[in-house]
Amino acid sequence: MMAEVSMLKPTAANPATSPTLTDVLAASVNAKAVDALALLKKAAAELKAVTFANSFGVEDMVLTDIILKNKLAIDIFSLDTGRLPVETYDLMAATEKYYNTKLNVFFPQAQTVEFYVKNHGINAFYESIDLRKSCCHMRKVEPLQRALKGKTAWITGMRAAQATTRTSLPVREYDEANKLEKFNPLSDWTEQEVWAYIRLHNVPFNALHDQFYPSIGCAPCTRAVAVGEDVRAGRWWWEDPTSKECGLHVK
């Protein structure tokens, strides 16, 4: 049986997922949503072959909602690393049903994964930063490169406030690694504004968010965070915060 996917069912235990919807907050979210939509429309018109990388975090669900409800000419793809939490797979299925759409899903190369596991072990990413980054490369970076092939621009749900590695995040930049334009429409959004949008527009989200997982990646590399911890503290928690990127967004 499929695990429950959260649909506006905030829990009292995690107030972060259910901010008080004041008039000021609602007005701020609505204004920023208008700006995000305008940016996405401009990107699609100017650059044509535009795609959105949906990792099924709450920010990505905001952008999914904006893109699909407004029928924008923007493809949506996801990376299935092979080690995602069951809640993420449930949200993938729920998203297709809720929006009556089909997602493009890219997987790692089987032979590369088999070689890594045979030579380093199934959980070798805990042993060193190099082995962790090698795992991220084969499960995320290489599939991303295939997903972006033939595209002129891609869109992410990154926010500047998410991590020390993202503090100077522009709304638009040139992605030198992938040789195409890159848009971050939610760069200046706060976590409270993201959740306000989810509540205002009845957007499905990952059930792990209600269990204190503000940032969700692969299951072995993600944990819940304590009150007061950084929103990215649960990602690769055994590493220094300045190295906490998988390679998808490293300049």
Q: Is residue 251 part of a domain?
A: no
List beta partners, residue 75: 51
Is the pLDDT at 236 greater than 90? The verdict is no
Give the tens place of pLDDT for each residue, 74-133: 999 999 999 999 999 999 999 999 999 999 999 999 999 999 999 999 999 999 999 999
* Backbone conformation region of residue 247, classed left if phi is above 0, alpha if psi is from -120 to 50, else beta: left
Q: Is the pLDDT of residue 12 over 80?
A: no
Q: Which residue has the higher pLDDT, 212 or 4?
A: 212
CATH number at residue 30: 3.40.50.620
> Does the residue 250 lie in any domain?
no
Is 246 known to be catalytic?
yes
State how far the Cα of 248 lies from the Cα of 155, in Å rounded to an integer. Answer: 12
End-to-end CA distance of the chain: 41
pLDDT at 227: 80
The pair of structure tokens assigned to 165 is: 């590695």
230, pLDDT greater than 50:
yes
- Is the pLDDT higher at 233 or at 193? 193
Overall domain count for the chain? 1
Residue closest to 192 by CA, chosen among 4, 7, 6, 32: 32
CA distances from 174 to 128, 169, 179, 216 (A): 30, 12, 7, 26
- In this prediction, residue 248 has a pLDDT band, given cuts at 50, 70 and 90, of low
Query: Buried b vs exposed e over 83-119: b needs ≥16 C-beta within 10 Å?
Result: bbbebbebbbebbeebbeeebeebebeeeebeebeee
Q: Which of 135, 218, 221, 246 is flagged as catalytic?
A: 246
Specify if 6 maps to a domain: no
Lowest mean pLDDT among 99-103, 228-232, 244-248: 244-248
Rounded CA gap, 153 and 29, in Å? Answer: 25
Q: Please check whether residue 2 lies inside any domain of the structure.
A: no
pLDDT > 90: what percent of the chain? 76
pLDDT band at residue 164 using 50, 70 and 90 as cut-offs: low
215 CB-near residues (< 8 Å, 6+ apart): 57, 162, 222, 231, 232, 234, 235
Q: How many helices (H) and strands (E) does the chain have?
A: 7, 6
Average the pLDDT over 137-151 and give the result.
96
pLDDT value at residue 166: 52
Residue bearing the bigger pLDDT, 2 or 235: 235
Q: Are 232 and 162 in contact (CB under 8 A)?
A: yes
> What is the reported pLDDT for 251?
55
CB 213 within 8 Å of CB 222 = yes
State the pLDDT confidence band at 242, using cuts at 50, 70 and 90. low
pTM of the model: 0.87
| pLDDT score of 245 | 57
Give the per-residue pLDDT at 4: 46
The length of the chain, given as a count of residues: 251
Q: Are 41 and 67 in contact (CB under 8 A)?
A: no
- What is the domain extent for residue 151? 21-243
The helix/strand/coil state of 135 is helix
Neighbours of 159 (CB within 10 A): 22
In a domain, 28, yes or no: yes
